[in-house]
Amino acid sequence: MRIVDRAAFPRDKLCGDTINPGTLGMLRRLGVAEEIERRGLPVGGMVLTGERGVTIEGCYPVGVSGRAMVRRDLDWLLLRQAVAAGCQFEPGAPVQRVVVADESGRRKVTGVAVGGGGRARTIAARVVIAADGRRSAIAFGLGVARHPARPRRWAVGAYFADFAPLMGVVPAVSASFGEMHVRRNCYIGVARIPDGLTNVCLVKPSRPADPDLRDPAALLLRELAHDPVLRDRVAAARLVNAPVVLGPLAVDVTAPLLDGLLLAGDAAGFIDPMTGDGLRFAVRGGELAAEAALDALANGWSGVHARSGRWWRRRAASRRRRWAAASRRRPFARSSRTPATARSR
């Protein structure tokens, strides 16, 4: 098996930097979680706040936890695990498109065109797994991916030093809680990560020409400074990197039923980051793609796409419908008029 990627690893990637218990359980079952559990910061649950004083604390059951780990380190760890298992890795090799041939009147993917600077070479393959992200050259090149009209959200993420911990919810363990702060015009995710840093990610409706996006640092600091829950915590903090901007976030994909091709990860459709399930879908989607590839190599392509798509349809359809309905009604949730604290253990 050969892995090709446009980037050289380790590389940075905008992410919430948390691995929820479901994802961690999958990685543990696959035998690649030991180093993640050792190096990652334990996460004991999530805290959700609304605009008007509502705070909901969700604690994971006793003995269950997630991990907070910089995505750069997580991806590099997983890539090294793949190489150790026998994969060949070729960095700095951007995939331009798939190579499609007609065999007995049926279109089939037979490889990929790789390269940049106007030059490309072909890598032949019996199975191509497109895991090239939400900007997938393969999915967009085939015309099966699009940015929907709604929602159109952009993310701005950065790391802070000396970002004060969340207090007053569960003082003994609050430093190991993930946070989601939902506001009328945006939501803000906060996660403490190793080495004393804090990941802060703002997601808001926007357009490519929005002047706010021209100065993402000012935008992020302004939103934090105006937020009643976060302003005191960021007062003494300092940015340690230039904020990263990503958008529009939502991507809808209609899986192409081409023999020789499977989609995985964000290339198969982007999950709104507020759910915290992006990595879980990516890991499970990669596992399903591997199983489907082995099935196709052993038995041919008849029925492979239908079988590999069952889990995604069953697990993702209801979640996508709920998000679509919420987006049509209002871009973001509104908190209750009555301040309250709810705790679930």
| Residue-wise DSSP of 13-32 | -----EE-HHHHHHHHHTT-
Q: How far apart are CA 276 and CA 278, in angstroms?
A: 6
Q: How far apart are CA 4 and CA 7, in angstroms?
A: 9
Give 276's DSSP letter: S
Which pLDDT belongs to residue 212? 85
Residue 17: C-alpha distances to residues 159, 199, 201, 289 (Å): 11, 7, 10, 24
Which pLDDT belongs to residue 14? 93
pLDDT over 90 at 68, yes or no: yes
Q: Is residue 167 classed exposed, middle or buried when 0-12, 13-18 and 19+ CB atoms within 10 A define those classes?
A: exposed
pLDDT over 70 at 316, yes or no: no
- Decide which of 245 and 206 is more confident: 245
Q: How far apart are CA 30 and CA 18, in angstroms?
A: 18
For 136-183, the pLDDT digits (tens) are: 999 999 999 999 888 889 999 999 999 998 876 554 444 489 999 999
CA 81 to chain CA mean position, Å: 20
Q: What is the mean pLDDT of residues 74-91?
A: 96
Which pLDDT belongs to residue 314? 64
| CATH code for residues 2-77+149-246 | 3.30.9.100
Give the domain 94-148+250-308 fold.
Answer: FAD/NAD(P)-binding domain (3.50.50)
For 3-58, the pLDDT digits (tens) are: 999 999 999 999 999 999 999 999 999 999 999 999 999 999 999 999 888 899 99
Bridge partner list, 239: 160
158, 264 Cβ separation under 8 angstroms: no
- Decide which of 103 and 58 is more confident: 58
In the predicted model, what is the mean pLDDT of the chain? 86
Residue 172: C-alpha distances to residues 44, 165, 166, 199, 283 (Å): 11, 11, 11, 21, 32
For 137-147, the pLDDT digits (tens) are: 999 999 999 99
Domain positions in the chain are 2-77+149-246, 94-148+250-308
179, 58 Cβ separation under 8 angstroms: no
